[in-house]
C-alpha cells in the first residue's frame, strides 16, 4: 500500500471538515486579494492622492488604465507579456466596477454623513480584514480537527494492532521500538498534519496571490523573477531529501532509547542487585549520544536551509535591481511602479520561508509515516476467521494432534500428540526447553502450529472466533501481570458490571480477601504498576482470583508457584486447588512436589512425550520422571 493510499483511508472519514477547509481557504484567498484591491481607494479617497499619481497597479484599480510598458516584437515572451497586460487591465476595470457597485448599492456619497467615501473605504477594509481573519481561524481549526482526528485514529489502530499480534511478533519486536512507533512517530505525524498542513495550504494561497499581483503590476519583471525560481526550488528539494533520511535515523535512535529506558526501569531490582547502575547509565548515555549526533545533523540541515535560500534570494533581488535599473534608465519603467513591484515581491518572502520549514517538517513526518505504515500493513499470523459457532463449555476434552512447531529454524515440537479429558488435571514436566510452555501457548492460539491441529471437543480451535476461544480459557502464569489500578479492578479486569460481593467471593476462594481488607483502602487500594506494593504470593493470589472470577472451563497454570516461599506456596496451592475444581487443567511446574496429585503427569523431552502416568506409576517405572524427582529432593 502506498503512503497516500494509507493516509486516504483515514482522511476520507473527515470529508466534511475537508470541504470546510476548502471553502474557508477560498474565502481567505479572495479576501486577501480584496485587501490589495482596496489599497487604491484608501489612497485616493482617504489620503486624497490623485489617481494619476498612484504608482502602477494602484492607479489601475483607481480608474487609470496602465498601458503596456513593452511593445511586442513578435517573440513568445513579448506575446505573453502583452497578453498579461491586457488581462491586467481587465482585472483593474473589474475591481473598479465592483468597488463602485458596492458604493452605489450602499448609497455612499459625499452628502451622506454616515457613508462618506472617506469613511467607507477604511470601514470596508476593516470588514474584509475581519472576514479574512475569521476564514483564517476556521481553516486553522478545520485542519487541526482533521490532523488530530486522523493521528488519533492512527494511534488507536496501531495500539489495537499491537494488542492483537501474536506472541511471536512481540518476541521479535522490542517493546521500546513498539512504544516509539505509537508515541514518537505518531507525534511527528500529528505535528505535521495538525499544525503544518495549514501552513502548507495557507502559505501556498498567499504565494499564489502575491505572484498574481506581481504579474498584474508588471508582467515582464514577473517573468524575469520566474526564471530565477529554480535557484530556490532546487535547494529546498535537496534539503528535504536530506531531512527525510536523517529523520528516519533519528526515529530509529529514539526507539533504541525507549528500549533501554524500559529495560532499565523494569529490571531496576536486578540492576541494583548487581551494582550495574553505572554500566546501565553508560549504555544509555551512549545511546543518547548517537541520538544527539543524528539530531544535530538534522539541525544543521534545518538551520542552514534558511540562510542558503535567503542568500540565493538576495542574489536574485540584486540581479533584479540591476535589470530594473537598466529599464528605468531606458525609460521603459518608472521608479514608483518598480517600488510597488518590489514591495509586493517582499510579500513572497514569508510564504517561501515558511514553506521551506514546512517541507523539512513534512519530510520528518514522511519518515514517521512510512514507519507507521510498515507496521500496520504487516499481516497477523494469527488469523481470526471463524467458521464454527461458539462452544458453551468443554464436554469431551482437549486434543493436540500431530503438532509440529518451530521458533525460526529451531524445531520445538515433533509430531506431538496429547489428549486431556474434560475435568482432568494433566501436568507437563521436563527439563527446560522441552516444549511445555509451547504446548499450552498453542491452546489459546498465542501461536499457531506449522502442522497439526489443536481441538476442543473435536472442533479445530482455528475455526472458532478468538474471543470465543479465549473465553473458554483461564490463565495463571509465573510472571503475574497486574495493572496500575485498584485491587477490585484488577480482579474484575474490565468487567465493571460485577458487584463487589462477587469480587470478594473470588478473592476469598483464592485466599486473598483477608490481606486485601488489611490494605489502606481495602478493595479500592491502588496497587501501583505491576502490583509492586504487594508480595509475590499476594500478587499470585490476585491473579488466581481473577481466573476464578472468569470461571473458564479450561485452566492453564504455567509455573504458578515457582517463585514463592514455602508459606506463600501453601496458600497459593490451596487457592489453585479451588481454581482447578471441576475444570480441565494443564499445569506446568518445575517443582514436582506441586504436581504429585495430578490425574496424569506427562514427561516431555526435546518436544516429545517420553512417558506419562500418575506420580506413583512413574516413580515405580524408574524412568526420567523418577530421576528428575530424586534430583530435586536430594538437592533440597
What number is the average pLDDT over the span 208-225?
78
The answer to whether domain 3-376 and domain 397-635 are alike in fold is: no
- For 46-113, the DSSP string reads IS---GGGS-HHHHHHTT-PPPPSS---S-HHHHHHHHHHHHHHHHHHHHHHHHHHHHHHHT--TT-S
Question: For the segment 352-395, what is each residue's pLDDT rounded down to a tens digit?
Answer: 777 777 877 888 788 888 888 888 888 888 888 889 999 988 99
Query: Would you state the CATH architecture of domain 3-376?
Result: Up-down Bundle (1.20)
Q: What is the CA radius of gyration of the chain?
A: 38
Residue 407 CA to residue 256 CA, distance in Å, equals: 24
592 and 429 Cβ atoms separated by less than 8 Å: yes
- Give the residue, 355 or 493, on which the prediction is more confident: 493
Q: Which residues of 602-628 are buried (b: 16+ CB within 10 A; e: fewer)?
A: bbbeebebebbbebeebbeeeebbbeb
Residue 514 CA to residue 70 CA, distance in Å, equals: 98
- Give the residue, 269 or 371, on which the prediction is more confident: 371
Confidence band, pLDDT 50/70/90 cuts, at residue 41: low
Confidence band, pLDDT 50/70/90 cuts, at residue 44: low
Which residues is 331 bridged to in the sheet?
A: none
- For 139-191, the DSSP string reads HHHHHHHHHHHHHHHHHHHHHHHHHHS-HHHHHHS-HHHHHHIIIIIHHHHHI
Does residue 459 register a pLDDT over 90?
Answer: yes
What number is the average pLDDT over the span 8-37?
84
- Tell me the pLDDT of the chain averaged across its residues: 79
CA distances from 261 to 159, 265, 286, 486 (A): 20, 6, 13, 26
Count the neighbouring beta carbons within 10 Å of the beta carbon of residue 99.
23
- How would you list the strands of the sheet with 410-421, edge to edge? 410-421, 397-407, 451-456, 459-460
Q: What are the extents of the domains in the chain? A: 3-376, 397-635
Beta carbons within 8 Å of 311's beta carbon, 6+ residues apart? none
Grid coordinates given for 464: 472458532
Determine the distance from the C-alpha atom of residue 614 to the mean position of all C-alpha atoms in its chain, rounded to a whole number: 53
Q: Which CATH superfamily does the domain covering 397-635 fall into?
A: P-loop containing nucleotide triphosphate hydrolases (3.40.50.300)
* DSSP 8-state code for residue 553: S
pLDDT of residue 397: 92
Confidence band, pLDDT 50/70/90 cuts, at residue 38: low
Beta carbons within 8 Å of 167's beta carbon, 6+ residues apart? 441, 446, 447
443 and 552 Cβ atoms separated by less than 8 Å: no
Residue 618 CA to residue 612 CA, distance in Å, equals: 7
Grid coordinates given for 574: 490451596
Q: Residue 621: which region, alpha, beta or left (left: phi > 0; alpha: psi -120 to 50)? A: alpha
pLDDT of residue 443: 93
Coil, strand or helix at 448? coil
Amino acid at each position: 500500500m502506498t503512503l497516500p493510499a494509507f493516509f486516504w483511508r483515514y482522511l476520507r472519514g473527515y470529508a466534511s471538515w475537508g470541504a470546510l477547509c476548502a471553502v474557508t481557504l477560498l474565502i481567505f484567498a479572495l479576501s486577501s486579494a480584496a485587501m490589495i484591491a482596496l489599497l487604491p481607494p484608501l489612497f485616493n479617497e482617504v489620503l486624497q492622492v490623485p489617481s494619476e499619481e498612484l504608482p502602477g497597479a494602484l492607479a489601475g484599480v483607481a480608474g487609470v488604465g496602465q498601458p503596456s510598458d513593452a511593445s511586442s516584437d513578435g517573440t513568445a515572451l513579448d506575446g505573453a507579456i502583452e497578453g498579461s497586460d491586457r488581462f491586467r487591465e481587465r482585472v483593474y476595470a473589474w475591481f473598479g466596477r465592483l468597488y463602485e457597485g458596492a458604493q452605489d448599492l450602499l448609497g455612499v456619497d459625499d452628502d451622506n454623513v454616515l457613508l462618506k467615501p472617506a469613511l467607507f473605504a477604511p470601514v470596508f477594509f476593516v470588514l474584509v480584514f475581519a472576514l479574512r481573519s475569521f476564514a483564517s481561524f476556521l481553516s486553522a481549526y478545520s485542519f487541526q480537527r482533521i490532523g488530530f482526528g486522523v493521528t488519533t485514529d492512527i494511534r488507536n489502530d496501531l495500539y489495537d494492532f499491537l494488542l492483537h499480534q501474536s506472541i511471536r511478533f512481540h518476541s521479535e519486536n522490542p517493546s521500546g521500538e513498539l512504544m516509539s512507533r505509537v508515541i514518537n512517530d505518531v507525534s511527528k505525524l500529528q505535528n505535521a498534519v495538525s499544525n503544518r498542513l495549514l501552513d502548507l495550504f495557507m502559505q501556498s494561497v498567499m504565494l499564489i496571490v502575491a505572484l498574481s499581483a506581481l504579474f498584474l503590476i508588471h508582467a515582464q519583471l514577473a517573468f524575469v523573477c520566474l526564471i530565477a525560481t529554480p535557484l530556490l526550488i532546487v535547494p529546498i528539494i535537496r534539503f528535504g531529501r536530506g531531512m527525510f533520511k536523517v529523520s528516519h535515523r533519528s526515529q530509529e535512535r529514539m526507539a533504541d532509547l525507549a528500549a533501554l529506558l524500559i529495560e532499565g526501569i523494569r529490571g531496576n531490582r536486578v540492576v541494583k542487585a548487581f551494582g550495574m547502575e553505572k554500566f546501565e547509565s553508560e549504555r544509555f548515555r551512549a545511546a543518547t549520544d548517537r541520538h544527539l549526533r543524528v539530531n544535530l545533523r538534522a539541525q544543521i540541515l534545518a538551520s542552514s536551509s534558511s540562510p542558503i535560500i535567503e542568500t540565493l534570494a538576495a542574489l536574485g533581488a540584486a540581479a533584479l535591481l540591476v535589470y530594473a535599473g537598466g529599464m528605468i534608465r531606458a525609460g521603459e519603467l518608472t521608479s514608483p511602479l518598480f517600488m510597488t513591484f518590489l514591495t509586493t515581491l517582499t510579500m513572497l518572502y514569508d510564504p517561501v520561508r515558511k514553506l521551506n520549514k514546512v517541507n523539512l517538517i513534512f519530510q520528518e513526518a514522511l519518515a514517521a509515516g512510512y514507519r507507521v505504515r510498515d507496521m500496520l500493513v504487516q499481516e497477523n499470523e494469527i488469523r481470526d476467521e471463524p467458521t464454527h459457532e461458539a462452544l458453551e463449555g468443554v464436554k469431551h476434552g482437549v486434543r493436540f494432534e500431530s503438532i509440529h512447531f518451530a521458533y525460526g529454524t529451531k524445531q520445538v515440537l515433533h509430531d506431538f500428540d496429547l489428549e486431556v479429558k474434560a475435568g482432568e488435571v494433566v501436568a507437563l514436566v521436563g527439563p527446560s526447553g522441552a516444549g511445555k510452555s509451547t504446548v499450552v501457548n498453542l491452546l489459546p492460539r498465542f501461536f499457531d502450529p506449522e502442522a497439526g491441529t489443536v481441538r476442543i471437543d473435536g472442533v479445530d480451535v482455528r475455526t472458532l472466533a478468538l474471543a470465543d476461544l479465549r473465553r473458554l480459557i483461564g490463565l495463571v502464569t509465573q510472571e503475574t501481570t497486574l495493572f496500575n489500578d485498584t485491587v477490585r479492578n484488577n480482579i474484575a479486569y474490565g468487567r465493571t458490571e460485577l458487584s463487589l460481593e462477587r469480587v470478594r467471593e473470588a478473592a476469598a476462594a483464592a485466599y486473598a480477601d483477608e490481606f486485601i481488607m488489611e490494605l489502606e483502602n481495602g478493595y479500592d487500594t491502588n496497587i501501583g504498576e505491576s502490583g509492586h506494593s504487594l508480595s509475590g504470593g499476594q500478587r499470585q493470589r490476585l491473579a488466581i482470583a481473577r481466573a476464578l472470577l472468569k470461571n473458564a472451563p479450561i485452566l492453564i497454570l504455567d509455573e504458578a508457584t515457582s517463585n514463592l516461599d514455602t508459606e506463600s506456596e501453601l496458600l497459593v496451592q490451596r487457592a489453585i486447588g479451588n481454581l482447578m475444581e471441576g475444570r480441565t487443567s494443564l499445569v506446568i511446574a518445575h517443582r514436582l512436589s506441586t504436581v504429585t496429585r495430578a490425574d496424569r503427569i506427562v514427561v516431555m523431552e526435546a518436544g516429545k512425550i517420553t512417558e506419562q502416568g500418575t506420580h506413583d506409576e512413574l516413580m515405580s517405572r524408574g524412568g526420567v520422571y523418577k530421576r528428575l524427582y530424586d534430583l530435586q529432593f536430594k538437592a533440597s
